[in-house]
Chain A
Amino acid sequence: MELKTKVNAENGKQDLFITREFDLPLELLFKAFTEPELVAQVMGTKVLKYESKKHGSYQFETADANGKVVLQAHGVIHEFSPNRKIVKTFEMETASFGVQLEMYEFEKMTDDTSKLNMHIIYESGALRDQVLKLPFAYGLNMAHNRLQDIMNKLK
């Protein structure tokens, strides 16, 4: 089966491409990027501010189960063309990955399907690779923690 979401990150480059085909009409796909409450649901974060317009800005904040803030991110919107294109920056205050430039291009495929092409540019190739490795490292850690849990129970 072909993957619905594809990531293309060429070796030694400082950018990457993500493409995804949606079983949604173009207008509905784009809407998910315009309403703060929808963005909050998709990203699994609290949205403090989200101005979906040119020169607008946004702010996210995610807290853990105990209410401790674990992630703070923000950015500005450079271009906002309905059903066509969004250009914005993204920066995490809680991590040192620098700022990234994100370009989202929306494409109609059929009346009921659409496609999103994302192009993300990082400050350097090394920073891009760090971001790419983050979920990998997290996965390794999770596996390690699970192992630890199992071992603790055996004690």
Chain B
Amino acid sequence: MNLRRDVFQAIADPTRRAILVLVALQAMTAGAIASNFGTARPTVSKHLQILTECELLRQEQNGREIYYQLNPQKMKEIADFIEPFRKMWDDRFNTLEAIMKNYKSK
């Protein structure tokens, strides 16, 4: 697990977002993914490497080919990224409520 890569930086790049949309439909090899883009194959490889390090993509060996597929669990984490912030405020307000209820009864 490589957490040095920021998952939000990973999805900030338009090419990488396009890759995610492509593999969301079906698992694809690096070659098949690259054929959808006008950029050089090594550039696409680099994007795939970053997306894999962030666990947005998973590699699956099928015979001699490596297929890339979307990791929906990780995508869900991004969709829920605001939840920890909400939870932090919720905890803070729960504390406030508890303290003030106690304050009232004093």
Contact = CB atoms under 8 A, between A and B. Distances in A.
Interface string A1-40: 0011111010000000010101110001101100000100
Interface residues of A, number: 34
A104 to B, nearest CB: 12
B93 A31 contact: no
A110 interface: no
A42 interface: yes
A7 B100 contact: no
Q: How large is the interface on B (under 10, 10 to 19, 20 to 34, 35 or more residues)?
A: 20 to 34
A140 B103 CA distance: 36
A138 B3 contact: no
A32 B99 contact: yes
Chain B interface, >50% SS class: helix
Contacts of A3: 86, 90
B95 to A, nearest CB: 6
B93 A139 contact: no
Interface in A100-149: 116, 129, 131-136, 138-141, 144, 147
Interface in B69-89: 81-89
Given A24-B101, A38-B103, A133 B81 contact: yes
A20 B93 contact: yes
B1 A5 contact: no
Contacts of A42: 92, 95-96, 99
Nearest to A142: B84
Contact of A141 (B3, B8, B103, B104): B3
B60 interface: no
A6 B86 contact: yes
B90 A4 contact: yes
A99 B25 CA distance: 43
A65 interface: no
B97 interface: yes
Contacts of A5: 86, 89-90, 93
Contacts of B81: 132-133, 136
Contacts of B84: 135-136, 138-139
Interface of B: 1, 3, 8, 81-90, 92-93, 95-97, 99-101, 103-104
